[in-house]
Amino acid sequence: GLPSRVRIHEVGARDGLQNEKSTVPVDVKAEFVHRLASAGLTTVEATSFVHPKWVPQLADAEELFPRLADLREQGVRLPVLVPNARGLERALALGADRVAIFASVTESFAKANLNRTVDESLAVFAPVVAEAKAAGAHVRGYLSMCFGDPWEGPVPVERVVGVAKALEAMGCDELSLGDTIGVATAGHVRALLTALTEAGVPLATLGVHFHDTYGQALANTLEALRMGVTTVDASAGGLGGCPFARSATGNLATEDLVWLLRGLGIETGVDLDSLVATSMWMAGHLGRPSPSRTVRALAGS
């Protein structure tokens, strides 16, 4: 069966904007996050405390995050990415109470994204997770390249299970399975979720993070929902890809996801018209139209 409610983990302000050629001014980012929250999104990933030279688009994290304090007081969840102890320290200093680490399942992407091997990066994350938990923060663990890798090709499910178990053992509260380059198909999703379930990873703690490169993101999402997943990552207007992975195109658009879920009678709390208006507004700032089919269909109506 299908769940009656799905929690959307909105990543547009982070995963979306990190991949834009131009850097969006901090005022626009702050307004974007506020608009996403007022459209009914309850989890809005805000920014990353990574090295500013690696992701210049998000170098203003220290300026942006304090401007979102009113949202946190209202109960909006504002997770931020931290790649290491330095990132965690920066995030905690500003009062962040939800952080996300991001591991790669493949060696090539671990090197490209974190400048480490998979094992070295896990060794960096372990004390970061422990320290975040000790500070009372909720920790999400991303797994990138869960289905295919631009350098290594298809990724065996056992590799994903291994990294998932490692992140779970560190104390991550939630995991997100990233199809970073968007090559997954529904059968592969079923195989991976089956392998994770058999390995004792509860689907209730899993989110899915699809990219729409081959137009499969919604089919993959539906398969994951049928198998018991209830958290889905999406990016308003379909913003973003990944600057460190060739051939990564946009994330699943939040509007496309909401259209699917609304049709299925699944609750999300999101006001689609308000979200479309926000993505149109952001497209104006970025100077290019949203790739989301739903945004385009509803924009003229």
Residues contributing to the site for ligand HMG (CB under 6 A): 15, 18, 48-51, 54-55, 83-84, 86-87, 90, 102, 113-115, 142, 144, 178, 180, 209, 242, 244
Nearer to Mg ion, 15 or 92 (CB): 15
Q: Are the C-beta atoms of residues 268 and 5 closer than 8 Å to each other?
A: yes
Closer of 51 and 72 to ligand HMG (Cβ): 51
Q: N- to C-terminal Cα distance for the chain?
A: 33
Q: Which of 10, 15, 255, 256 binds Mg ion (CB under 5 A)?
A: 15
Q: CB of residue 12 vs Mg ion: minimum separation in angstroms?
A: 10
- In the annotation, is 242 catalytic? yes
Backbone phi and psi for residue 148, each to the nearest 5 degrees, phi listed first:
-155, 160
260: partner contacted, choices Mg ion, ligand HMG, none (Cβ within 5-8 A by kind): none
Neighbours of 203 (CB within 10 A): 15
Give the E-state strand segments of 129-245 in sequence order.
138-144, 148-149, 153-154, 174-178, 206-209, 231-234
> Among the candidate windows 9-17, 34-42, 114-122, 157-165, which touches Mg ion by CB under 5 A?
9-17
Q: Which residue, 215, 248, 256, is CA-closest to 232?
A: 256
Tell me how far, at minimum, the Cβ of 263 lies from ligand HMG, in Å: 26
The CA distance from 234 to 153, in Å, is 24
Question: Which segment (97-105, 135-143, 153-161, 246-254) binds Mg ion by CB under 5 A?
Answer: 246-254
DSSP 15-80: IIGGG-SSPPPHHHHHHHHHHHHHTT-SEE--EE-S-TTT-GGGTTHHHHGGGGHHHHHTT-B--E
277 versus 286: smaller Cβ distance to Mg ion: 286
User: Pick from ligand HMG, Mg ion, none: which does 114 bind, CB < 5 to 8 A by kind?
Assistant: ligand HMG
Say what angle helices 254-263 and 217-226 make with each other, to 10 degrees. 50
Catalytic residue among 91, 105, 201, 242: 242
Nearer to Mg ion, 15 or 149 (CB): 15
Applying CB under 5 A, which residues contact Mg ion? Answer: 15, 251
Residues designated as active site: 242
